[in-house]
């Protein structure tokens, strides 16, 4: 499928700062939107319905899958996470940049569905720093942190499947890297074809 807009998929092990990076990217770009995912996990303190996620029950999530309303979904830990298809397709049709912040399995599914999606994997400077960041965040209990670190090892092993790898050591640099990648994506020949035809037709 050839979209008018640019579909950007960002994955990273939990605790790599992907949400912070993308929040900064959004402040500095005017036509980019982040897709709000649906999840069955419990809401964390400070999270808001419809902003961080659409929080639903397992039954509700499975209904959405059955109705074909999910662009992709995956199980992460013991919960479902997925991207509602409607808003993403609409924004891409309008020529907007849509950013999905999802785990690696979902990223692979999206790349399969949209081969021209741009996939970015964010890595920490070291595994030790990742563990420190996860513990410092104080949002998960020890068991959940151990589970997330195990998943992180598997995820890091799949980083080579992505188009780009960005290291999040200095936040501002990681943000600039992501902005640069998105800019370059918009200049790819298949995204510039309309502009090119316009110039040729008026020659």
Residues that bind ligand 5GP (CB under 6 A): 14, 37, 41, 72-74, 76, 81-83, 101-103, 106
Q: What's the rounded Cα separation, in Å, for the pair 145 and 134?
A: 7
Between residues 47 and 198, which has the closer beta carbon with respect to ligand 5GP? 47
Q: Is the dihedral of CA 33, 21, 182, 151 positive or negative?
A: negative
Output 6 or 22, the one with its CB closest to ligand 5GP.
22
What is the 3-class SS of 19-44, one letter each residue?
A: HHHHHHHHHHCCCEEECCEEECCCCC
CB of 194 to ligand 5GP, least distance (A): 30
**8 Å CB contact between 35 and 99:** yes
DSSP conformation class of 161: G
Smallest distance from ligand 5GP to CB 82, Å = 5
Which of 71, 91, 83, 97 has the alpha carbon at shortest distance from 181?
A: 97
- The tokens for 48 are 């808001």
Given the complex with ligand 5GP, which of 75 and 193 has the nearer CB atom? Answer: 75
- According to DSSP, residue 121 is labeled E
Closer residue to ligand 5GP, CB minimum distance, 24 or 72: 72
CB of 37 to ligand 5GP, least distance (A): 3
Q: Please say which residue, 83 or 119, places its beta carbon nearer to ligand 5GP.
A: 83
Q: Smallest distance, Å, CB 72 to ligand 5GP?
A: 6
Closest distance to ligand 5GP from the beta carbon of 76 (Å) = 4
For the beta carbon of residue 34, count every other beta carbon within 10 angstroms: 17
């Amino acid at each position: 499928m050839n979209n008018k807009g640019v579909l950007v998929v960002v994955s990273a092990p939990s605790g790599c700062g992907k949400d912070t990076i993308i929040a900064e990217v959004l402040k500095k770009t005017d036509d980019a939107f982040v897709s709000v995912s649906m999840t069955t996990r419990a809401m964390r303190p400070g999270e808001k319905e419809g902003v961080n996620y659409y929080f639903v029950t397992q039954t509700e999530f499975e209904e959405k899958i059955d109705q074909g309303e999910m662009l992709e979904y995956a199980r992460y830990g013991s919960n479902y996470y997925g991207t509602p298809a409607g808003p993403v397709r609409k924004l891409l049709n309008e020529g907007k940049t849509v950013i999905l912040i999802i785990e690696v399995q979902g990223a692979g599914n999206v790349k399969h569905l949209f081969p021209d999606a741009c996939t970015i994997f964010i890595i920490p400077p070291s595994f030790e720093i990742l563990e420190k960041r996860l513990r410092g965040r104080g949002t998960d209990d020890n068991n959940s942190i151990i589970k997330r670190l195990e998943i992180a090892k598997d995820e890091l092993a799949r980083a080579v499947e992505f188009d780009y790898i960005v290291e999040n050591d200095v936040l501002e640099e990681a943000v600039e890297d992501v902005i640069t990648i998105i800019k370059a994506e918009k200049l790819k020949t298949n995204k510039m074809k309309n502009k090119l035809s316009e110039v040729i037709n008026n020659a």
